[in-house]
């Protein structure tokens, strides 16, 4: 029976954390973004996130995004500085092609840092792309 279960592979969907200016707090903040670099929309998008290490675990956050159009992005959440020293994990679940997709994105502890900034597709800003 297990051999009959098809698990689709997620392609062209990314998660990035971008260090950007916030006019309200008058400071630079780290924000997590979901990027749909596919040619079709993804629907019923749900993101579940948490931070953890050997001794600490944060609350689990759930974000219902709905539809994310092709070649677009959506801000998910703010990551306070104290969470950057933890592993930050995001599970993204969505429907596309009449199938259910799920992917785990991980930012290992201390990898969300200015030294690791790279150009982020679609957003045209520098940030840190997650490990798959």
Under CATH, what is the fold of the domain 2-129?
Immunoglobulin-like (2.60.40)
Supply the pTM of this predicted model: 0.92
Report pLDDT digits (tens) over 26-84.
Answer: 788 999 999 999 999 999 999 999 999 999 999 999 999 999 999 999 999 999 999 99
Report pLDDT digits (tens) over 9-26.
Answer: 999 999 999 999 888 877
Task: Give Cβ neighbours of residue 54 (< 8 Å, ≥ 6 apart).
Answer: none
Q: Where are the domains of the chain?
A: 2-129
DSSP codes of every residue in 3-17? GG---PPP-SEEEEE
What radius of gyration, in Å, describes the C-alpha atoms of the chain? 15
pLDDT at residue 6, as a whole number: 78
pLDDT at residue 22, as a whole number: 82
Tell me the average pLDDT of the chain. Answer: 93
């Amino acid at each position: 029976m297990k051999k009959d279960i098809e698990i689709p592979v997620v392609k062209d969907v990314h998660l990035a954390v971008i260090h950007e200016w916030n006019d309200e707090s008058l400071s630079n903040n780290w924000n997590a973004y979901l990027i749909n670099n596919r040619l079709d929309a993804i629907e019923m998008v749900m993101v579940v996130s948490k931070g953890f290490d050997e001794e600490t675990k944060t609350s689990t956050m759930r974000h219902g995004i709905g539809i994310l159009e092709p070649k677009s992005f959506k801000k998910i959440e703010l990551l306070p500085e104290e969470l950057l020293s933890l592993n930050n994990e995001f599970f993204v679940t969505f429907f596309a092609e009449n199938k259910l997709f799920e992917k785990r994105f991980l930012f290992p502890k201390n990898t969300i840092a200015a030294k690791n900034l790279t150009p982020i597709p679609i957003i045209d800003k520098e940030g840190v792309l997650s490990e798959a």
